[in-house]
Amino acid sequence: MPIPLPPRTPTPPSAVDDAPNQHAFQALDRDALSPLVDTFPKSASLETATKDHVSPTIPSFNPTPENGASDSDPAGPFNFSTTVMAKGPVPKSQQNIGQRRGHKYKHSSISHQIFMEPPPRAPLALPNSLPIPTFKEYRISMSKEQKTRFWWSVCHMFVAAYTLWTAHGSLAMTALSHLILFDSLGALLCVVVDVLSNFEVWKRSSVRHPFGLERAEVLAGFAMCVLLLFMGLDLISHNLQHLLEKAGHEPHHSHEHDRVSLGSVDVTAVLAISSTLVSAMGLKNHARIGKAMRFAYIESLPSVLSNPSHFLTLSCSALLLLLPLVSIRIYDWLDKLLSGTIAISMCVLGTRLVKTLGSMLLMSYSGQGVADVIKDIEAEPSVFGIDDVRFWQVHYGLCMANLKLRVAGSDENLARLREKISSLIRNRLGGGYGSGGQKWEVSLQFTVERT
């Protein structure tokens, strides 16, 4: 058998037929595309090629020039005309040519039936925020009385500094200087709070500060109480160091203590007593702290001595007035004993204050009498049970009680029960009307059960 020839790649027909006069379709041969055939047969194209046929593959492509173009210029599909850019800014109306401008949904004719506008709301009763005064505004708003109280608090600090400077002869006087420093900081805080109350942001609620800026006073008092606790611990370490020196250890620093001469009056103790009394009566120093933290064993004393801070400072100063009347040997022991007692008292007082003010910062109530109030509420005949109880304190002057009760009875009886529970909480925990205690806001939620 003969060996077949290898197939050849078919050659496409040319764009222009060699015989332009062949316009009719010729019959196609079935073997025209056979790989055994040497060449493709010449066949007519599907369309008649005319002289007006425009094709970019034809070398003599030259369409008729438009817009009065000269015949010398070569015409073609990419013959673009020269455009001169404008030197001035392009108007905004021309910048958005060819861009579809969108519209909001609520302006659409279809969305009017789907997306309805919300009903208009009444403006909030609380403002979003209130302006906080600057230092210049703070200074300008001070009245003459407030300026006098401020300069007195500065004088109280000078008394504390003088007490510490003259305390080299007594450990008890060193402890007293720490107490006076704590009292002077409290007096300055009272003046700052009094001046800030001139502004609306201090007491008025807002969205940013729901309870005003009065909680800043709690934070400042908390920092003072931490300072008092650390000063008490410093005095304890100082006393332990003196005990080790007496036991035979060599001191790192000399601690020569010169006592007041016999029969003389200690001027420093007199200054401490007078400054404490003026600050307590004139500035109401530590009054808010005394209301927040009550000591049962000194509560029956007069108003000044019922405050634990004033009681500690005045008692220490009074004992220091009596120390020069004793002998030298007894003076040394009494001085160390009084210093250790004051240091321990400062630690106890600082711990109690830190706990009380810390719970206040955490929005909880640490006072007494809550259990008794709950028992009295449960004893009411109309109350079937207590589902939830929350007692919490915002700052020194505001406490809140939220109760959820299951009750039964008529509307008139429930209204009386609501008033009775509110007055019970205010009288037991707030001290009653006119006592000057904390203000209590009570909210009750009743779940009426059918009997």
Q: Are 10 and 50 in the same domain?
A: yes
Q: How confident is the model at residue 222 (pLDDT cuts 50, 70, 90)?
A: very high
Q: Which pLDDT belongs to residue 129?
A: 81
- Measured N-to-C along each axis, helices 215-246 and 328-361 cross at an angle, to the nearest 10 degrees, of 150
Q: Are 392 and 437 in the same domain?
A: yes
Q: Would strands 439-448 and 383-395 be described as parallel, antiparallel, or unpaired? A: unpaired
Q: Are 344 and 389 in the same domain?
A: no
Q: Are 407 and 429 in the same domain?
A: yes
Q: Are 53 and 143 in the same domain?
A: no
Q: Supply the DSSP symbol for 26.
A: P
pLDDT at 113 over 80: no
CB 338 within 8 A of CB 172: yes
**Minimum mean pLDDT range among 36-40, 284-288, 304-308, 417-421:** 36-40
Average pLDDT over residues 123-145: 85
pLDDT at 373 over 50: yes
In the three-class reduction of DSSP (H, G, I as helix; E, B as strand; rest coil), residue 56 is classed as coil
Averaged pLDDT score across all residues of the chain: 76
% of the chain at pLDDT higher than 90: 13
Q: Are 196 and 318 in the same domain?
A: yes
**Minimum mean pLDDT range among 187-191, 241-245, 384-388:** 241-245
Distance CA 406, CA 446 (A): 6
- Residue 19's domain comprises 1-67
Tokens 């001070």 belong to 142
Q: Which pLDDT belongs to residue 158?
A: 92
Q: Which pLDDT belongs to residue 402?
A: 92
Q: How many domains does the chain have?
A: 3
Residue ending a domain, among 322, 341, 361, is 361
Q: How many helices and strands in the chain, by DSSP H and E?
A: 12, 3
Q: Any idea of the CA torsion for 108, 110, 111, 112, to the nearest 10 degrees?
A: 90
Average pLDDT over residues 150-167: 89
Q: Are 404 and 326 in the same domain?
A: no
Distance CA 423, CA 227 (A): 38
% of the chain at pLDDT higher than 70: 64
Q: Where residue 429 sits, what CATH number does that domain have?
A: 3.30.70.1350
Q: Which pLDDT belongs to residue 126?
A: 75
- 293 in any annotated domain: yes
Q: Which range in 123-137, 151-165, 305-319 is most confidently predicted, on average pLDDT?
A: 151-165
- 102 in any annotated domain: no
Distance CA 398, CA 298 (A): 24
Q: Which pLDDT belongs to residue 242?
A: 77
Q: Are 272 and 302 in the same domain?
A: yes
Q: Are 375 and 348 in the same domain?
A: no
Q: Which pLDDT belongs to residue 92?
A: 55
- 130 in any annotated domain: no
**Residue 119 or 57, more confident:** 119
- 61 in any annotated domain: yes
Q: Which pLDDT belongs to residue 434?
A: 46
Residue type for 237, please?
A: S
Q: Which pLDDT belongs to residue 47?
A: 47
- 409 in any annotated domain: yes
**Minimum mean pLDDT range among 54-68, 227-241, 418-432:** 54-68
pLDDT at 179 over 70: yes
Q: Which pLDDT belongs to residue 281?
A: 85
Query: How many Cα atoms occupy the beta-carbon half-sphere of 100 within 13 Å?
Result: 2
- Closest Cα to residue 226, out of 120, 350, 92, 378? 350
Q: Which pLDDT belongs to residue 208?
A: 86
- 234 in any annotated domain: yes
Residue ending a domain, among 344, 361, 378, is 361
Residue ending a domain, among 16, 50, 67, is 67
- 72 in any annotated domain: no
**Minimum mean pLDDT range among 112-126, 209-223, 230-244:** 112-126
Q: Which pLDDT belongs to residue 61?
A: 45
Q: Which pLDDT belongs to residue 381?
A: 87
Distance CA 205, CA 212 (A): 5
**Minimum mean pLDDT range among 202-216, 260-274, 312-326, 410-424:** 260-274
- 34 in any annotated domain: yes
pLDDT at 433 over 70: no
Q: What angle do CA 124, 129, 130 make, to 5 degrees?
A: 115
Q: Which two tokens stand for residue 202?
A: 């201090």
Average pLDDT over residues 347-368: 88
Q: Where residue 140 sits, what CATH number does that domain have?
A: 1.20.1510
Q: Are 357 and 374 in the same domain?
A: no
Query: How many Cα atoms occupy the beta-carbon half-sphere of 55 within 13 Å?
Result: 10
Q: Which pLDDT belongs to residue 233?
A: 92
Q: Which pLDDT belongs to residue 395?
A: 86
Q: Are 269 and 403 in the same domain?
A: no
Q: Are 313 and 383 in the same domain?
A: no
